[in-house]
Amino acid sequence: MDFSNSEYLKQLSDAELIAQYKKQVDKQLIGELYKRYTHLVLGMCIHYFKDIDVAKDVVVQIFEKLFDELKKREIENFKAWLTFVVRNYCISELRKIQTQSNRNLQYQYEMKQQIQESDIDNRFEQEEKLNQLEKALNNLNPFQKKCIELFYLKNRSYVQIAQLTGYSLNEIKSHIQNGKRNLKLLITKN
């Protein structure tokens, strides 16, 4: 039978539309049910999701689900059954969202913990390196130690170091270069 005449479809009851659909699987029959009950399904979906765009998407998903469900089920009161399907579908989707949200929160918490642990580890490593550097500095000869402290720790230029210590620029460069090499050897030795 050709269901292109929408006036004919409007005259059929829900039960007749479902019975015809089971026989001929014509999507226009579901289309008529969609026209009749979209407002009801949309209202329920808005109630559950509190977002009209999400609700509209869910309405489409529910009616797509009906294509298969109506073939399998014996339905006496379509409106009551549809209300039941919508409620269960919405609750199921909300649970999925909640579960995903919980997983995301758990993941964020775990990542935050890892970052905090990593920060603590990094601080300990940095503190340990500073301790090693301090010990190594104390083991340098006094000329190298003085030049390295002034150049690296106090940010003095070669000229300023020369004025403070009385060393020549070549001596300062030599003390810094040799001091760096000796620091590296002392640190890697420990």
pLDDT along the chain (190 residues), means of 10: 68 87 84 90 92 91 87 87 92 86 79 78 82 88 91 90 92 91 85
143 in the same domain as 98: no
Is pTM, for the whole model, over 0.85? no
In a domain, 59, yes or no: yes
Helix then strand count (H, E) for the chain reads 8, 0
Q: Which of 162, 146, 142, 165 is nearest to 154 (CA)?
A: 146
Domain range enclosing 65: 6-102
Number of domains in the chain: 2
Q: Which residue among 102, 122, 151 closes a domain?
A: 102
Residue 60 tokens read as 């489409």
163 in the same domain as 82: no
